[in-house]
Structure 1
Amino acid sequence: MIPKILTKLKSGFKRFNSVKKYINDATINSTVDSDNGSGFKAFFGSIRFKLLASLVSMIVLMLLIFGINVFVESVNNKINGKMQNEMNLLSLTEDVHFNIINTDDTGSWYLLSRNFEYYTKYQLSIRNVNDLLKELEKYPNLSKNDLESIESFKNEWTAYQTEKKETLELFRKGQVEEARVKYTEVPTSTLLDKFIPIIEKVNANIVKYEKEMEQNKKKGKLLTMSALVISIIAAVFIQLVLGFLIVRPIILIGSQLKEISEGEGDLTKQIEFKSSGEIKTLVISFNKMLENLRILIKEISSSTDQVAASANQLSASAEQSTMATEHISSMVGQVSVGSEQQVQSINDGVMALNDFTSTVDLISSLTEEVSTHVIKTSEDAESGGQTLGKVSSQMDSINVTVTSLSEIIKGLGDRSKEIENITKAITDISSQTNLLSLNAAIEAARAGEHGRGFAVVADEVRKLADQSAKSAKQITNLVKTIQQETFQAVATMQNTIKEVENGLITVNEASKSFKAINQSIEGVVGQIQQVSSAVINITEGTKQLVTTIEPVKDIAQDTSFGMQEVSSSTEEQLATMQEISLSSNALAVLADDLQKSIGKFKF
């Protein structure tokens, strides 16, 4: 029963696909037909041309605004260059004016103060004026009148220099008062009055250029604003035209599509709009689509009843198959659960044995390490005992050496006492010798000239006696120091002997302790070796047990996997049948809804 229903559904879908293909072919043919009539006429009527024309118009207007700005900027730059040239010329003329005034001032101060430094400044100002006038003559872009004015002023300046030079010659000749009077008779203001017109003309040119630049800026702003207003008006006009030519047919198509989407459209209604290009193609394609849609709805309406009946039969068959599949799935699920529990139990046992084996292996490795460390400790203890024996022998030798050294130091103390006695005797002898030399000196003094040589000898003897007394005193001090240090050394040696004896006792006790430790370690080594052999036996037993359980675990896993696959297959079949049942019910509902929806259209 189900195969027959599926066959009917497939035939219905094939019919639907054929109708859909028909619609697509019709749409493509309409587009091709519209394109066949294209050419220059179609291009000029297309949306692409309209948008391109709009874009080109805006670009032209923007280029116009840009050209106006560039032109205004170019004119301003030229005027600015001229004004900068006049500013430099003004600076040059002002420098000439300043140096002329400075020439008059420094010359006056020179005549009043007779300070030659002012004369040097005077000469420097004259050179500056001459250099500036030469530079002024070579300045570019000067008119003929300007050059004539400069040449006239230069002649006046030469005459001014000559008169001032004659005045200074009188001053150097000693005619001071006459020179001062004559210097004032040649006023600088007269010369400056002839130079001021040049400066005023330069200032007038600067003011003129500033006004021209300002007027040019105003004209540029006016032209820019005019072009901007024209651009805005043109843009608005172009957008309105494009809106009428492009948007209106789209609005008509959109309104009819809205009626169709709401389920109450008139499929017999056609759009009529005279246009060309893409809009014409769009209108033709839309009208063709309505025609194809009307044909499609007729085909769907005739097939909907058959689809609904087939869907009801398919739903009944799917429900019967679903009940049988659910029973099989429940049985397979119970078996699968039992298999999974069995596999889980075996896995838990294998994991426990593996953990136990790992623990035993760890114990075995630890016992081996402990045995190695204990043997090493025993060897170290034995070596330590031998070392303590050597230390004990060495301490005995040190005790003997320190005792001998103590006796030697005591003998040194006795010898120092003998040296002290000898130094006392030397001191006494030097005192007596000193007295004898004093007596000899007294006798030599009594003898007069005959005893002078004897007096010299007596004086030398007295000096030797003094030196002997001093040396004996130093020896006595050294001997006392040696005696003190000897007593301290003897006391230190006695303390050292006591410490050495205590060290011998401690070393002997440590040697006994090392022997006892060595005996205990030997007993521990034997016990650890017994534990290690027992652990090895346990490890081999657990490995055999794991090897025995592995095949059982594999069989249980294979059984569980097989039952899971069977359960999955039955569940998939059950889900498929349920989906078929739901799909058939939904298909029946959709067929009814589709029939109702189609009934709303007029075709």
Structure 2
Amino acid sequence: MSISIGNRILLGFTAVILVILALGLYALAQIGEVRRSTDLIVSRDLAVMHQLEGIREGQRRMSDLHDEATTRFFLRALNREVPAKEEPTIGWRRAASATETALAGAITNVNEYRTQSQSAERAAAWQRIGEILTAAGVELRGIRTTTERQFQALDASDLATVQSAETALEQAKESFVRTMASAREALDEAIAAGQRRVGEVYEESRISTMAALATCVVMALAITGLIRRSVSRPLESVMAFVGRIGEGDLTGRIADASRDEFGRLGSVLNQMVEGLRQLASQNRAATANLNAAAAEIRASAQEQAASVEEQFAAVQETAATVDEITHAGAQIGKRAQEVIATAQATAQTSQAGLRAVDETARAMDAIREQSEAVAGNIVALSEKTQAIGEIIATVNDVSERTHLLALNAAIEAAAAGESGRSFAVVASEMKALADQAKESTAQVRALLGDIQRGINSSVMLTEEAVKRVALGKERSDTTHATIEEITARVQESVQTFQQIVASTNQQQLGIEQVMGALQNIRQASQQTAAGTRQVETAAANLSELATALTALAERYRL
């Protein structure tokens, strides 16, 4: 269905409103029908009732005028004075004509009502009223005929005829009154039948209105069910898809080609899943690179630790050698003193001093070679720390990219609303891991800075030691030449050996300085070893972090 959800709800609401409006119009029509029937029945009943009252009133008027006419007759017969006014007979005739006219009109109306009656009961009642009024018309004509005959007898002063007519008129009047009473009773029955018909019409209208209401309710429920079905089914499909995504399944897609909100939501979810799939792939690749970099850092740190251990061992050996040189210098001084004391042993002592100087020169060469080896190791260590710094920069860049990916995932999850809450949790975990990786790289970088500074200091100290060893070598060469000169010039042995003593003292001072430098180198080596262990620990932590990121990335199926 290509109609949007809002339009579906609007159409459903419009349909329900139309159904309610149709129900209201039908109810108004039924109410109008009830009112029309009631008004028609009541108006007819009231019209006939007024006509019957008019006929009865005309009959009483006729009776009054008749009585007045007979009273005038008897007054004249008794020679009594008669009031001067219109003759009652004239008024009686007018009243009789009006009464007959009203009776004829009532009969006409009753017959018309009978043909237009709304029920058989009402038709029967109108027919009975018509029959009664017809009989009353016959009686009224009889009363008029008898009264006219009596008026003629009054004019002829025929008292016997007047009295006989009076008796007949009394009987006729009583019969007419009874007939009109029957007509009124029949009218009451017609009114009761009309009331019953009104009740029937009301009941029919009520039943039909309730049936229409039930039909409208059924239609409204059907419309609501259709709208709910058109909304709930796509919504259940989307919720199932989102549930699979929350479980880590990124392999599916929503196959919804509709152009409504659910179709657009499916497109957005498909785009989001595609972005998450790419993010997971990039995360896996970055995690693999991070794991490899961590392994390289750890291997490099282990190699550096081994190199530092070797450097420390070389420094220990150099210190031992310099200590031996110190003892040798002390022996040379002692021997020089002995040469001064005993000039006779000058040649022998010179030979011993020459051998000692040769040993010193070899020791100096060994010290220089070891110092150069230490300097080379320190330079190699500096290059490895620089390589570690580059690797840490790469790891930091990976963590920043992971942080950016986590931020983008959080934005996408926030845009998805309630459906993207699980992705917000994943993005938060990825962000926390990226922050932890960044903090670890910052710690490793700080440690590498300390190591680099220590290495630079060690390089400077090693270069100073090499220079001092070279100076000691030069002095050893000078001592060697001096001893050879002593050997050639025995006469100057005392003075020469004094110079040897002085040179030996200076050599002792240089060797002590070399010992101090070696102590500094040993301390720097110890610090370098500690820093290397810290780098190795940081590399292990980084490897664990990479393993955790790998496990997190493996949660999603691509």
TM-score when normalising by structure 2: 0.39
Q: Give the structure, 1 or 2, with the largest relative contact order (CA under 8 Å, sep 6 or more).
A: 1
TM-score when normalising by structure 1: 0.37
